[in-house]
Structure 1
């Protein structure tokens, strides 16, 4: 009987050790990706976004693009353009012919910088080394992130990383109700030539738009 308990104890210690090593390996890869992203002057991304639920009766798909330069960005998604100069956020809807101007607030989820999507894992998640998939000849290593807050609506997040380039390939959010949100990077370009006024909002370009200043 003592031998059985000794065996079980050793097995549990080994499992715990392997789990800790996998967690450390996962975090090291995430940190490497983030450090590489932060080294670029700017990033231009074309992406595809898909949402579907477990029942299969909901499936939405949209394309978008974003240019990020530190705290500045220009995002085009679902018919809306969003520009941030680090101080103000300008949300431009061509359908409504309206521009909404608000102050940038780091504590407001609406002010979340696209670049922070790569650092979201630093708080509130456990890291797990997951599967490798071959996608059109590319080796994609997945990191599974599990929320530490039991009240989170998310069950887990899968982050796919190109093992060669160390760039993000996709991000899959899986909710507890089975809904999946999948963001896939179609193109990833760095250090592009952009004008110094690229992230400057020019009101005269929208003469017939209603300007809604929230702050």
Structure 2
């Protein structure tokens, strides 16, 4: 019995050490990704978005793009545009001819446009995961498990290009069985941007007959 206990303790100790090393390796890679992203003046990402829930027989696929500069962003998705100027969030819906203006809300568990490339920095435990070969590119995955036990997210898998240290894919699995996959089609950096790109022109939309909603 004593020998069995000693073997068990040694096994658990070795497993714990291996897990800690994997966690440190995952964090080191994520730090490289963060430092790479922060070295750019701006980033443009064109992506494919897929939402699936097999139990509910749901599959939705679309595309979108986002331009990021610091905390500011312009996000085009599902026919609407969301703009954040560093102070207010403006959601422009041409189909309804409406613009909603509101303060930005903070949700530590949400992957918002401004946090799309940096959300993994806080609120997660890190685990080293699989390495995939995607058309000659080595994509290393890191598993992100929310620290908040009340989170609606079960876990996320972040696929990172091992050479460029750019994010290639984000897979999010919810506790309700919903799986969301965002795959980067195009990743461009330090693009020439208009000085007015992150400025909302309220008068223009009023003149075009848009209804302005302030929350």
Look up the match of 1:210. 211
Unaligned 5+ runs, structure 2:
none
| CA contact 2:72–2:114 (8 Å) conserved in 1 | no
| CA contact 2:67–2:74 (8 Å) conserved in 1 | yes
Runs of 4+ in 1 over 4 A off after TM superposition: none
Look up the match of 1:150. 149
Query: Within 1, Cα distance between the matches of 2:103 and 2:173?
Result: 31
Deviation of 1:113 after TM superposition, in Å, equals 4.9
| CA contact 1:54–1:177 (8 Å) conserved in 2 | no
After TM superposition, the structure 1 stretch with the greater mean CA deviation from structure 2, 3-12 or 68-77, is 3-12
Query: Within 2, Cα distance between the matches of 1:36 and 1:123?
Result: 17
Does 2:115 correspond to 1:116? yes
TM-align CA RMSD? 1.8
Look up the match of 1:175. 174
After TM superposition, the structure 1 stretch with the greater mean CA deviation from structure 2, 171-180 or 43-52, is 171-180
Look up the match of 2:5. 5
Look up the match of 1:161. 160
Query: Within 2, Cα distance between the matches of 1:158 and 1:169?
Result: 11
Q: Following superposition of structure 1 onto structure 2, how do residues 45-194 of structure 1 map, counting pairs within 5 Å?
A: 45-55=45-55, 57-105=57-105, 107=106, 113-194=112-193
Deviation of 1:5 after TM superposition, in Å, equals 2.3
Deviation of 1:56 after TM superposition, in Å, equals 6.4
SS of 1:118 mapped into structure 2: coil
Unaligned 5+ runs, structure 1:
none
- Superposition TM-score, scaled by structure 1 size: 0.91
| CA contact 1:71–1:113 (8 Å) conserved in 2 | no
Query: Within 2, Cα distance between the matches of 1:14 and 1:151?
Result: 30
Look up the match of 1:37. 37
Deviation of 1:121 after TM superposition, in Å, equals 2.7
Give per-residue Cα distances to partners, 1:94-129, cap 9 Å, x unaligned. Answer: 010011112345x367x9752323333333321100
Give per-residue Cα distances to partners, 1:15-70, cap 9 Å, x unaligned. Answer: 10000000011111111101111111000010111000132610001110000011
- Superposition TM-score, scaled by structure 2 size: 0.91
Q: May I ask how many residue pairs the two structures share in their alignment? A: 212
Query: Within 2, Cα distance between the matches of 1:212 and 1:73?
Result: 20
